Structures are given as C-alpha cells and as structure tokens.
Structure 1
C-alpha cells in the first residue's frame, strides 16, 4: 500500500508545475490582448474617423448619390476585395489564379500559412481545397519531418560530435554554441537578407515591414496584411511568385532545423520534463512486454543469438600444452 502511494505522489508531483504553466500561458495571453488593444485601438479609431469624413464629403459633393447607394457599392467592392479581386482599373491585368499564383496559394495552404489574399471562388474550388488540405497537410508534415531528420544529422549532430570527440570539448557547451551560431546564420539568411530584398522589390514596404512579413510567413502565422508580388506594376510577377514559393519552403525547413537543434539541448530537455507526467516503471515494463519487437523473450533470444555469433566468429585457438606430474606433456 505504501509503495503504491509513494509512486502516486511521485507521479503527480509535477502537477503544480503544470498548473503554473497553464496559469503563465493564460497570463501571457491576457498580456498580449492588453498590449494589442492599447496600441492598435487608437489607430483604428483614427482610421474610422478618416473614413467617415471621406464618405461625408463624397456624399456632399455628389448630391445625386445617396448614402445607402454608396454603402451598397462599397460593400460589394469590399466583398470582392476579400476574395482577392480588386475594383481598381490598374489592377485589371493582375490575376490571382494563373499558374504561378496558384502554386503560391497551394504552398500557403499546405504549410498552413494561409495569407487569405486569395480564396477559392467556386464551389468546386472550395470542395477541392478541403480534400487537398486533408491529404496535403499530413503529407507536408511527413515530408518536412523526413527532410529535417536528414539535414540535422549533417548540420547539427555530426559537427557537435566532431568537436566533442576530436577536440575534447564538453558536448553540452559545444551544442549550445552550435545552436546559437546556427540560429544567427538562419536569421541572417532567411530574415535580414530577404527583408532587405523585399524592401527593394516592394515599393510600399520598408525594412521593418519586410522583416515583419518574413517572420509572419516563416512562423506560419500568415496574417495576410503583407503579401509580396501583389503590386499592379510588379515586373516578372510569375517568376517572382515562384521565387517566393521556394523561399517559403526553404525557410520553413531551416526554421524547423533550428527548432530541432534547440530542442535537443540538454538544458531544454530537462526544462520540458519538468512539466511532463512521469511514467511508472511498471507501466514501462507492461508497454515493453506488449510490443513483440521489444519483449523480454525477443531480447533474450537476440542476446543468445549474438553470443552464438560471437562464438562462431571467434578465431580457433589451440589449447596450450600442459606438463603432467610424471613429466609427460599433455596436448
């Protein structure tokens, strides 16, 4: 009875840590809501007042047009804009569903980024998007996992082991330094440099807005307030869209490699285990027995076969001659 109670206490010991984790997450969520509300609410109020004044002036200058007619026209234009279709005359030559744009849209769907700049308009397109996503998103996760698993062997594990074995440095220190350097290189190659490029190619974007787009995209948040290649006078638009698609896929892989590298740090593993439920040893033994490939019988059989193989592979050594009491030699 007492050992069972001790195991129960040991198993549910980290429960208070999990409670602190939940409380901390809720507080962080509330903190974000307070900051966003205090920062963005005045800007929204200013924009609303500007639009009201603009609409009032327009109705006053055009007496033949009622306010209801104007609002009906604007509502239709906004619905079309939400679907990615602009009513502006200089945007009539820009299509959202040519091959390059459709490829860019497919990549945002499979990576769950979802900018919302273009959406399926037909019922057939919406139905296909559901089926395509149900199959494609797990397929994308499998693809990314397989790619990251192979890359991290050459990018993280082998370099860390090389410096640890070759030069005798501490493995934990080498892993931390390597993770920091890898993170710095990734941020430089997939955030700072692309942000500088976007700030040049996109006329209305500054460096901060370009960096903001890179972060929102590679973190798969995808707010959709900034989408490259949507300018009306964009040169080589199809080639530009293809380049952005490649950038998003490569950047997502790089981000996953960096995250996996940091997750393998010993300190982070210990930190994560603080909030996990500890498994009972009896449950682990039952789990092992239930799996044939890890059962005790199979392990013993494998050990016995390994011993037999060692005996077979061992070179034959003739017995050393010994001297008997009578002086004769026993071979």
Structure 2
C-alpha cells in the first residue's frame, strides 16, 4: 500500500533537502517557544517590579518638586528623543567624531548593531541602507574566508603531525603522503572544538580588559563578549563609550581588534556547529525513513 501510494503520488513526497528544511523550521520554532517560556518565567516578574518602582519614583518626584505628572512625562519623552542623537544622563565620549563614527560603521558591517549610535538625518539613514548592504556582504565574505584559513591551517598541522609520527621520507613516502592528504583533513568536530577553545580564550582575555576599563564585573564582561561577538548586540552593555575613553587611543584600538577577532572566531564556530546540526537532521530523517519503511 505504501509502495503504491509512493508510485502514484511522487510529487507529494518531499526531497531530502526539503524535508530537512521543514524539520529545521519546526525544531527552531519549538526551540524559540521553549526559550520564550523559560525567559518569560525568569524575567517577567522583574519587569513588573521595575514598572512598579518606576511609577512610584515618578509619583514621589512629582510630589517632592511640585511638578505635574504630565509635565514630567513630557520631559522624559523629550529625553528619549534626545537619546537617539547620543544625549545621555551621564556624559560620554563624542559619538560622531572620526573614532566614534569608525566604531559605528564597525558595528554596522559586523551586524552587531548595539543601537547606542544611529543616524538622525534623513541623508544618513538613506546612506546607511546602501552602505550596510555592501559592507555586511563584504564582511560575511571575510568571515567565510577566515573560516577557510582556519580549516587550511588545521589541515596543515594534522598532516605535519602525521608525517612526524610516521617518519615518511623519500620519494615514495612523499608520494604516499600526497595521495593521502585528503584523508588527514580535520573533522568538523575537531574544528568545532578548536574554534570553541579559541572563542573561550578570546572572550576570557577580552573580559579581563573590559572589567578593568569599563568598571563591569567579570561576569558582566563575559556576557558582553558573547552578545558582541555573536553579533546579537542588545546595547545594554557597550564598550568604549565613557568620556575618559576618548583619550585612551590604545584601548580604542584594542577594543576594535578584539571585536574583529571575537566576531570572526564566533561566526566560524557558528558555521561549524551548523554543520553538526545538519548531520543531526540527516540522522533524524534517516531514522524517520527507517521507521516509516519498517
């Protein structure tokens, strides 16, 4: 019966690529629903408490300074508009001088997008669309080439270690090595492990620097490193924005280099993990096919 149905309606049976796409979509949706449930249970109560505290502070401030709540909310609305132009309650470094603008375009082309700086002019917003289109594309290409160089370096190291272990010399040995080069390429699991260690080392080193320069705790610095290096960019923590950082040229350069290195390594790690996920999806599809045919 199953065979007859398959022969009569071949178009209803999706290809392996299509089945993998649908399966991945379902798993991502379930993953997002589970994450939403977990984070809602963790953060919702804190959000409600923050709202209650804010309303109480507004009421107390209005009463203490004899200001109407409407006038106070109007002032706060103007301040929210001013934040778009870079105005902060605590004075920070200049946002649109050359170093500040360079930091901004770095967050654009790397797709981090902290949201601390954003163009306020119409011309700047229109230009950003085309600037980001080309810049993000070129940066993604750079990240892919970086991953290729990492894999090539690991392949060289694996082959070199194998030659040292086997001690292959002479023309015959070299010919055999040339024929077996393909067999000694690193597996995706080896690449993933090495990239994970690299990301961990860069993040730990960068967190030490940020904890010292930004006044954050080490845990907050590690959190910032993940948010920045993964290009999530919430904007709750942003490095290099304090006023005294404007004169710290060495720190500004180190910050940019750490961002670039961290994003490259993390993007490469994500690519390697995606290959493992793809292998897992193939295993699930083979298992489902075997169960269906049984």
TM-score by length of 2: 0.76
1:159 aligned residue (154, 157, 160):
157
Distance 1:5 1:57 in 2: 76
Q: Give the C-alpha shift of residue 30 in structure 1.
A: 0.6
Q: Give the C-alpha shift of residue 240 in structure 1.
A: 2.7
**Does structure 1 retain, via aligned residues, the 8 Å contact 2:86–2:95?**
yes
Does residue 31 in structure 1 map to residue 34 in structure 2?
Answer: yes
**Does structure 2 retain, via aligned residues, the 8 Å contact 1:104–1:245?**
yes
Q: Indicate the structure with greater helix content.
A: 2
Distance 1:115 1:192 in 2: 21
Report the secondary structure of 1:220's partner residue. coil
Q: For residues 173-204 of structure 1, give each alpha carbon's deviation from its aligned partner in whole angstroms, at most 9, with x where no partner exists.
A: 9646743651353133211121122111111x
Superposed, 1:71-82 pairs within 5 Å as: 71-82=73-84
**Does structure 2 retain, via aligned residues, the 8 Å contact 1:262–1:268?**
yes
Q: For residues 30-84 of structure 1, give each alpha carbon's deviation from its aligned partner in whole angstroms, at most 9, with x where no partner exists.
A: 1111111111111111111111111111111122x22111111111112212442
Does residue 85 in structure 1 map to residue 96 in structure 2?
Answer: no
Q: Give the C-alpha shift of residue 275 in structure 1.
A: 7.5
**Does structure 2 retain, via aligned residues, the 8 Å contact 1:100–1:242?**
no
Q: For the pair shown, which has the larger CA radius of gyration, 1 or 2?
A: 1
Quickly say closer, same or farther: Cα 1:235–1:16, change in 2 above 3 A.
Answer: closer
Please give the root-mean-square deviation of Cα atoms over the aligned residues, in Å. Answer: 3.4
**Does structure 2 retain, via aligned residues, the 8 Å contact 1:216–1:222?**
yes
2:59 alignment partner in structure 1: 56
Quickly say closer, same or farther: Cα 1:173–1:253, change in 2 above 3 A.
Answer: closer
Distance 2:19 2:190 in 1: 34
Report the secondary structure of 1:24's partner residue. helix
Quickly say closer, same or farther: Cα 1:123–1:180, change in 2 above 3 A.
Answer: closer
Q: Give the C-alpha shift of residue 141 in structure 1.
A: 2.0
1:206 alignment partner in structure 2: 217
Q: Give the C-alpha shift of residue 166 in structure 1.
A: 5.0
Q: Give the C-alpha shift of residue 122 in structure 1.
A: 1.3
Q: Give the C-alpha shift of residue 165 in structure 1.
A: 5.5
Does residue 227 in structure 1 map to residue 238 in structure 2?
Answer: yes
Distance 1:184 1:272 in 2: 22
2:292 alignment partner in structure 1: none
Quickly say closer, same or farther: Cα 1:126–1:268, change in 2 above 3 A.
Answer: closer
Number of corresponding residues:
266
**Does structure 2 retain, via aligned residues, the 8 Å contact 1:183–1:258?**
yes
Distance 2:280 2:239 in 1: 39
Deviates more, 1:221-230 or 1:245-254: 245-254
Residue ranges of structure 2 left out of the alignment (5+ in a row): 167-182, 286-294
Q: Give the C-alpha shift of residue 272 in structure 1.
A: 5.0
Distance 1:142 1:17 in 2: 25
1:12 aligned residue (11, 14, 20):
14
Q: Give the C-alpha shift of residue 116 in structure 1.
A: 0.2
Superposed, 1:96-245 pairs within 5 Å as: 96-154=95-153, 156-164=154-162, 167=165, 175=187, 178-179=190-191, 181-203=193-215, 205-234=216-245, 236-245=247-256
**Does structure 2 retain, via aligned residues, the 8 Å contact 1:164–1:174?**
no
Quickly say closer, same or farther: Cα 1:227–1:29, change in 2 above 3 A.
Answer: same
**Does structure 1 retain, via aligned residues, the 8 Å contact 2:86–2:117?**
yes
